[in-house]
Amino acid sequence: MFTEALQAILQDRCTPSHVRAIEASSEGADLLWQVVADAGFLELMAPEEHGGAGLGLPEVRPVLELLGACAMPLPIGQAIALRALMQPGGPPPDGMVTFAPALRRLPDGALLAPQLPFGLLADRVVGALDGSLWLLDAREARRDAPGLHRDSLCNLHWDPAAARRARPLETNATAQDLHAWAAALHAALLSGAMGRSFELALAFCNDRIQFGRSIGKFQAIQHQLAVMAEHVAATRIAVATAFASGDRCPAPMAAALAKARASEAAGLVAPLAHAVHGAIGVTEEYELQLYTRRLHAWRLAHGSEAHWHRVIGDAVLDSGERIGDFVRRVQES
Protein backbone atom coordinates (compact mmCIF):
# COMPACT_ATOMS: atom_id res chain seq x y z
CA MET A 1 0.00 0.00 0.00
CA PHE A 2 2.75 2.47 0.95
CA THR A 3 4.83 1.52 -2.09
CA GLU A 4 1.92 2.07 -4.45
CA ALA A 5 1.08 5.41 -2.85
CA LEU A 6 4.68 6.62 -3.15
CA GLN A 7 4.88 5.36 -6.73
CA ALA A 8 1.81 7.43 -7.60
CA ILE A 9 3.64 10.53 -6.37
CA LEU A 10 7.01 9.77 -7.95
CA GLN A 11 5.62 8.94 -11.38
CA ASP A 12 4.58 12.60 -11.61
CA ARG A 13 7.26 14.26 -9.47
CA CYS A 14 10.38 12.16 -10.14
CA THR A 15 10.32 11.60 -13.89
CA PRO A 16 13.57 11.43 -15.91
CA SER A 17 13.15 15.12 -16.76
CA HIS A 18 12.86 16.00 -13.05
CA VAL A 19 15.95 13.94 -12.26
CA ARG A 20 17.93 15.66 -15.01
CA ALA A 21 16.89 19.11 -13.76
CA ILE A 22 17.95 18.30 -10.19
CA GLU A 23 21.27 16.87 -11.39
CA ALA A 24 21.99 19.87 -13.60
CA SER A 25 21.20 22.73 -11.21
CA SER A 26 19.32 21.37 -8.16
CA GLU A 27 16.16 22.84 -9.69
CA GLY A 28 13.12 21.19 -8.12
CA ALA A 29 15.11 19.40 -5.39
CA ASP A 30 13.46 21.25 -2.50
CA LEU A 31 10.02 20.81 -4.05
CA LEU A 32 10.43 17.05 -4.51
CA TRP A 33 11.74 16.70 -0.96
CA GLN A 34 8.83 18.69 0.45
CA VAL A 35 6.23 16.74 -1.50
CA VAL A 36 7.55 13.42 -0.19
CA ALA A 37 7.89 14.80 3.35
CA ASP A 38 4.40 16.33 3.39
CA ALA A 39 2.94 13.00 2.31
CA GLY A 40 4.52 11.41 5.39
CA PHE A 41 6.90 9.02 3.63
CA LEU A 42 9.95 10.15 5.59
CA GLU A 43 8.18 8.88 8.72
CA LEU A 44 7.56 5.32 7.55
CA MET A 45 9.78 3.81 10.26
CA ALA A 46 8.95 6.32 12.99
CA PRO A 47 6.76 4.89 15.78
CA GLU A 48 3.02 5.38 15.50
CA GLU A 49 2.94 7.26 18.80
CA HIS A 50 5.26 9.84 17.22
CA GLY A 51 3.12 10.25 14.12
CA GLY A 52 4.89 7.67 11.98
CA ALA A 53 3.69 4.55 10.20
CA GLY A 54 5.68 2.19 12.43
CA LEU A 55 6.83 -0.01 9.56
CA GLY A 56 9.46 -2.69 10.05
CA LEU A 57 12.31 -3.68 7.76
CA PRO A 58 10.33 -6.14 5.59
CA GLU A 59 7.65 -3.54 4.85
CA VAL A 60 10.05 -0.71 4.04
CA ARG A 61 12.27 -2.73 1.68
CA PRO A 62 10.05 -2.36 -1.44
CA VAL A 63 9.84 1.39 -0.77
CA LEU A 64 13.63 1.66 -0.83
CA GLU A 65 13.84 -0.44 -3.98
CA LEU A 66 11.28 1.86 -5.59
CA LEU A 67 13.55 4.83 -4.89
CA GLY A 68 16.30 3.09 -6.83
CA ALA A 69 13.92 2.22 -9.66
CA CYS A 70 13.01 5.92 -9.95
CA ALA A 71 16.67 7.07 -10.01
CA MET A 72 15.90 9.11 -6.90
CA PRO A 73 18.37 12.04 -6.82
CA LEU A 74 17.72 12.93 -3.16
CA PRO A 75 18.58 11.09 0.11
CA ILE A 76 15.00 10.01 0.78
CA GLY A 77 16.14 6.53 1.80
CA GLN A 78 18.57 7.96 4.33
CA ALA A 79 15.79 10.08 5.83
CA ILE A 80 13.60 7.00 6.26
CA ALA A 81 16.46 5.00 7.81
CA LEU A 82 17.38 7.90 10.11
CA ARG A 83 13.94 7.72 11.75
CA ALA A 84 14.73 4.12 12.66
CA LEU A 85 18.20 4.99 13.97
CA MET A 86 16.76 7.78 16.14
CA GLN A 87 14.54 5.40 18.13
CA PRO A 88 14.88 5.73 21.02
CA GLY A 89 16.42 9.18 20.89
CA GLY A 90 15.72 12.75 20.02
CA PRO A 91 13.93 14.15 16.99
CA PRO A 92 15.63 13.66 13.61
CA PRO A 93 17.70 16.53 12.21
CA ASP A 94 15.94 18.79 9.76
CA GLY A 95 16.79 19.06 6.07
CA MET A 96 18.32 16.53 3.72
CA VAL A 97 20.60 14.16 5.63
CA THR A 98 23.05 11.63 4.26
CA PHE A 99 25.25 8.99 5.95
CA ALA A 100 29.04 8.88 6.34
CA PRO A 101 30.01 5.60 8.05
CA ALA A 102 33.65 6.13 6.96
CA LEU A 103 34.13 9.58 8.52
CA ARG A 104 37.84 10.29 9.01
CA ARG A 105 39.66 12.63 11.39
CA LEU A 106 42.73 14.19 9.78
CA PRO A 107 45.95 15.02 11.68
CA ASP A 108 45.10 18.73 11.86
CA GLY A 109 41.68 18.02 13.42
CA ALA A 110 39.72 18.40 10.20
CA LEU A 111 37.12 15.82 9.17
CA LEU A 112 36.71 14.10 5.81
CA ALA A 113 33.74 12.16 4.47
CA PRO A 114 34.99 10.44 1.29
CA GLN A 115 32.78 9.43 -1.64
CA LEU A 116 29.63 10.56 0.11
CA PRO A 117 26.34 9.67 -1.63
CA PHE A 118 24.09 12.69 -2.19
CA GLY A 119 26.87 14.84 -0.76
CA LEU A 120 26.31 17.60 -3.30
CA LEU A 121 22.78 18.26 -2.03
CA ALA A 122 22.78 17.20 1.62
CA ASP A 123 22.21 19.77 4.37
CA ARG A 124 23.54 17.58 7.16
CA VAL A 125 25.65 14.45 7.58
CA VAL A 126 25.34 11.69 10.16
CA GLY A 127 28.80 10.18 10.49
CA ALA A 128 30.44 7.41 12.50
CA LEU A 129 33.65 8.31 14.30
CA ASP A 130 35.38 6.54 17.20
CA GLY A 131 32.39 4.25 17.66
CA SER A 132 29.87 7.08 18.09
CA LEU A 133 27.48 8.92 15.77
CA TRP A 134 27.97 12.60 15.06
CA LEU A 135 25.89 15.23 13.30
CA LEU A 136 27.69 17.67 11.02
CA ASP A 137 26.49 20.62 8.97
CA ALA A 138 27.23 19.85 5.31
CA ARG A 139 26.80 23.51 4.45
CA GLU A 140 29.98 24.27 6.41
CA ALA A 141 32.01 21.73 4.44
CA ARG A 142 33.98 22.08 1.25
CA ARG A 143 32.39 19.85 -1.37
CA ASP A 144 34.81 18.29 -3.82
CA ALA A 145 33.06 16.56 -6.70
CA PRO A 146 35.10 13.75 -8.30
CA GLY A 147 34.62 15.18 -11.79
CA LEU A 148 32.37 12.42 -13.08
CA HIS A 149 29.36 13.38 -15.17
CA ARG A 150 26.69 14.63 -12.74
CA ASP A 151 27.84 12.15 -10.13
CA SER A 152 26.14 12.28 -6.74
CA LEU A 153 29.28 11.10 -4.93
CA CYS A 154 31.57 13.78 -3.56
CA ASN A 155 34.10 14.35 -0.80
CA LEU A 156 33.09 16.63 2.08
CA HIS A 157 35.87 18.31 4.04
CA TRP A 158 35.32 20.22 7.29
CA ASP A 159 38.16 22.44 8.48
CA PRO A 160 39.19 22.10 12.15
CA ALA A 161 36.88 24.94 13.29
CA ALA A 162 33.84 23.45 11.55
CA ALA A 163 34.77 19.98 12.81
CA ARG A 164 34.71 21.22 16.39
CA ARG A 165 31.11 22.31 15.90
CA ALA A 166 30.00 18.72 15.25
CA ARG A 167 27.74 17.40 17.97
CA PRO A 168 26.81 13.89 19.08
CA LEU A 169 23.60 12.48 17.63
CA GLU A 170 20.94 11.98 20.30
CA THR A 171 20.35 8.28 19.84
CA ASN A 172 21.27 4.90 21.26
CA ALA A 173 22.28 3.68 17.80
CA THR A 174 25.93 2.72 17.30
CA ALA A 175 28.46 3.10 14.53
CA GLN A 176 27.83 -0.56 13.65
CA ASP A 177 24.13 0.22 13.18
CA LEU A 178 25.00 3.04 10.78
CA HIS A 179 27.35 0.76 8.82
CA ALA A 180 24.64 -1.89 8.53
CA TRP A 181 21.98 0.59 7.46
CA ALA A 182 24.23 2.26 4.89
CA ALA A 183 25.11 -1.10 3.33
CA ALA A 184 21.56 -2.48 3.30
CA LEU A 185 20.06 0.79 2.07
CA HIS A 186 22.37 1.02 -0.92
CA ALA A 187 21.88 -2.65 -1.69
CA ALA A 188 18.14 -1.94 -1.92
CA LEU A 189 18.73 1.13 -4.11
CA LEU A 190 20.97 -0.95 -6.37
CA SER A 191 18.31 -3.64 -6.58
CA GLY A 192 15.72 -1.15 -7.76
CA ALA A 193 18.02 0.53 -10.28
CA MET A 194 19.16 -2.83 -11.65
CA GLY A 195 15.58 -3.99 -12.06
CA ARG A 196 14.72 -0.83 -13.98
CA SER A 197 17.82 -1.18 -16.18
CA PHE A 198 16.77 -4.72 -17.03
CA GLU A 199 13.22 -3.59 -17.86
CA LEU A 200 14.58 -0.96 -20.25
CA ALA A 201 16.90 -3.49 -21.89
CA LEU A 202 14.14 -6.05 -22.31
CA ALA A 203 11.73 -3.52 -23.80
CA PHE A 204 14.37 -2.21 -26.19
CA CYS A 205 15.29 -5.71 -27.38
CA ASN A 206 11.64 -6.48 -28.08
CA ASP A 207 11.09 -3.22 -29.98
CA ARG A 208 14.36 -2.87 -31.93
CA ILE A 209 14.08 -4.51 -35.35
CA GLN A 210 17.18 -5.68 -37.17
CA PHE A 211 17.41 -8.06 -40.13
CA GLY A 212 13.65 -8.31 -40.20
CA ARG A 213 13.03 -9.34 -36.58
CA SER A 214 13.42 -7.97 -33.06
CA ILE A 215 16.94 -8.28 -31.73
CA GLY A 216 15.53 -10.04 -28.66
CA LYS A 217 15.02 -13.11 -30.82
CA PHE A 218 18.76 -13.51 -31.42
CA GLN A 219 20.34 -16.09 -29.15
CA ALA A 220 23.34 -13.90 -28.24
CA ILE A 221 21.01 -11.14 -27.02
CA GLN A 222 18.84 -13.63 -25.17
CA HIS A 223 21.92 -14.90 -23.37
CA GLN A 224 22.87 -11.38 -22.23
CA LEU A 225 19.33 -10.73 -21.03
CA ALA A 226 19.32 -14.03 -19.16
CA VAL A 227 22.56 -13.13 -17.37
CA MET A 228 21.10 -9.75 -16.40
CA ALA A 229 17.92 -11.38 -15.10
CA GLU A 230 19.96 -13.81 -13.03
CA HIS A 231 21.91 -11.05 -11.27
CA VAL A 232 18.79 -8.93 -10.73
CA ALA A 233 17.00 -11.88 -9.11
CA ALA A 234 20.01 -12.83 -6.96
CA THR A 235 20.34 -9.24 -5.74
CA ARG A 236 16.67 -9.08 -4.79
CA ILE A 237 17.01 -12.27 -2.75
CA ALA A 238 20.09 -10.94 -0.95
CA VAL A 239 18.35 -7.64 -0.20
CA ALA A 240 15.24 -9.42 1.04
CA THR A 241 17.44 -11.39 3.45
CA ALA A 242 18.98 -8.20 4.82
CA PHE A 243 15.51 -6.75 5.46
CA ALA A 244 13.91 -9.97 6.70
CA SER A 245 14.02 -9.32 10.44
CA GLY A 246 11.55 -7.25 12.39
CA ASP A 247 14.27 -5.17 14.05
CA ARG A 248 14.76 -1.51 13.29
CA CYS A 249 18.28 -2.08 12.01
CA PRO A 250 19.48 -4.71 9.50
CA ALA A 251 21.75 -7.41 10.89
CA PRO A 252 25.36 -6.45 10.12
CA MET A 253 26.36 -9.66 8.34
CA ALA A 254 23.12 -9.89 6.34
CA ALA A 255 23.66 -6.28 5.26
CA ALA A 256 27.25 -7.08 4.29
CA LEU A 257 26.12 -10.02 2.15
CA ALA A 258 23.44 -7.90 0.47
CA LYS A 259 25.81 -5.03 -0.34
CA ALA A 260 28.51 -7.38 -1.59
CA ARG A 261 26.11 -9.22 -3.88
CA ALA A 262 24.42 -6.04 -5.11
CA SER A 263 27.71 -4.25 -5.82
CA GLU A 264 29.11 -7.25 -7.65
CA ALA A 265 25.95 -7.54 -9.76
CA ALA A 266 25.93 -3.80 -10.53
CA GLY A 267 29.35 -4.06 -12.13
CA LEU A 268 27.98 -6.72 -14.48
CA VAL A 269 24.44 -5.51 -15.15
CA ALA A 270 25.40 -1.95 -16.14
CA PRO A 271 27.70 -2.94 -19.06
CA LEU A 272 25.29 -5.64 -20.21
CA ALA A 273 22.45 -3.12 -20.33
CA HIS A 274 24.56 -0.84 -22.50
CA ALA A 275 25.74 -3.74 -24.65
CA VAL A 276 22.23 -4.75 -25.72
CA HIS A 277 21.21 -1.12 -26.27
CA GLY A 278 24.17 -0.23 -28.44
CA ALA A 279 24.92 3.43 -29.12
CA ILE A 280 21.58 4.83 -27.96
CA GLY A 281 22.20 3.65 -24.40
CA VAL A 282 24.94 6.21 -23.77
CA THR A 283 23.08 9.21 -25.16
CA GLU A 284 21.98 12.05 -22.90
CA GLU A 285 18.39 11.89 -24.10
CA TYR A 286 17.85 8.19 -23.33
CA GLU A 287 17.09 7.40 -19.70
CA LEU A 288 19.26 4.28 -19.31
CA GLN A 289 22.25 6.38 -18.27
CA LEU A 290 20.28 7.76 -15.32
CA TYR A 291 20.24 4.26 -13.85
CA THR A 292 23.60 2.86 -14.91
CA ARG A 293 25.44 5.92 -13.57
CA ARG A 294 23.75 5.27 -10.26
CA LEU A 295 24.70 1.61 -10.42
CA HIS A 296 28.36 2.61 -10.63
CA ALA A 297 28.04 5.30 -7.93
CA TRP A 298 25.98 3.22 -5.48
CA ARG A 299 28.25 0.25 -6.08
CA LEU A 300 31.12 2.28 -4.60
CA ALA A 301 29.04 3.98 -1.89
CA HIS A 302 29.98 2.76 1.59
CA GLY A 303 32.29 0.10 0.19
CA SER A 304 32.33 -1.87 -3.04
CA GLU A 305 32.11 -5.65 -3.25
CA ALA A 306 35.88 -5.84 -2.60
CA HIS A 307 35.43 -4.21 0.81
CA TRP A 308 32.45 -6.32 1.84
CA HIS A 309 33.94 -9.57 0.50
CA ARG A 310 36.85 -9.01 2.86
CA VAL A 311 34.48 -8.39 5.77
CA ILE A 312 32.51 -11.55 4.96
CA GLY A 313 35.67 -13.61 4.40
CA ASP A 314 37.09 -12.64 7.78
CA ALA A 315 33.79 -13.57 9.45
CA VAL A 316 33.68 -16.95 7.71
CA LEU A 317 37.26 -17.75 8.74
CA ASP A 318 36.56 -16.70 12.32
CA SER A 319 33.44 -18.89 12.46
CA GLY A 320 35.22 -22.05 11.29
CA GLU A 321 32.12 -22.96 9.25
CA ARG A 322 31.85 -23.95 5.64
CA ILE A 323 30.63 -21.08 3.50
CA GLY A 324 27.26 -22.71 2.80
CA ASP A 325 26.60 -23.29 6.48
CA PHE A 326 27.69 -19.74 7.27
CA VAL A 327 25.29 -18.20 4.74
CA ARG A 328 22.40 -20.37 5.93
CA ARG A 329 23.04 -19.32 9.53
CA VAL A 330 23.04 -15.66 8.55
CA GLN A 331 19.75 -16.10 6.67
CA GLU A 332 18.12 -17.90 9.59
CA SER A 333 19.33 -15.52 12.30
Indicate the CATH number for domain 94-168. 2.40.110
Q: Do the beta carbons of residue 142 and residue 178 sit within 8 Å?
A: no
pLDDT value, residue 147: 66
CATH of 175-332, one of 1.10.1060.10, 1.20.140.10, 3.40.390.10, 1.10.490.10: 1.20.140.10
Band of residue 128 on the pLDDT scale cut at 50, 70, 90: very high
pLDDT tens column, 218-232: 999 999 999 999 999
For 73-107, b/e burial (b = at least 16 CB within 10 A) is bbbbbbbbbbbbbbbeeeebbebbbbbbbbbeeee
End-to-end CA distance of the chain: 28
pTM: 0.95
Q: Residue 67 and residue 121: Cα distance in Å, rounded?
A: 17
Torsion of CA 106, 299, 258, 33, to 10 degrees: 80
Q: Do the beta carbons of residue 304 and residue 310 sit within 8 Å?
A: no
Q: Where are the domains of the chain?
A: 1-88, 94-168, 175-332
Q: Residue 231 and residue 49: Cα distance in Å, rounded?
A: 40
The DSSP letter of residue 169 is -
Residue 66 has pLDDT above 90, yes or no: yes
Residue 90 has pLDDT above 80, yes or no: no
Superfamily of domain 1-88: Acyl-CoA dehydrogenase/oxidase, N-terminal domain (1.10.540.10)
Give whichever of 85-89, 127-131, 239-243 has the largest mean pLDDT.
Answer: 239-243
Band of residue 216 on the pLDDT scale cut at 50, 70, 90: confident
DSSP 97-149: EEEETT-EE-TTS-EEEEEETTTTT-SEEEEEETTEEEEEEGGGSEEE--SST
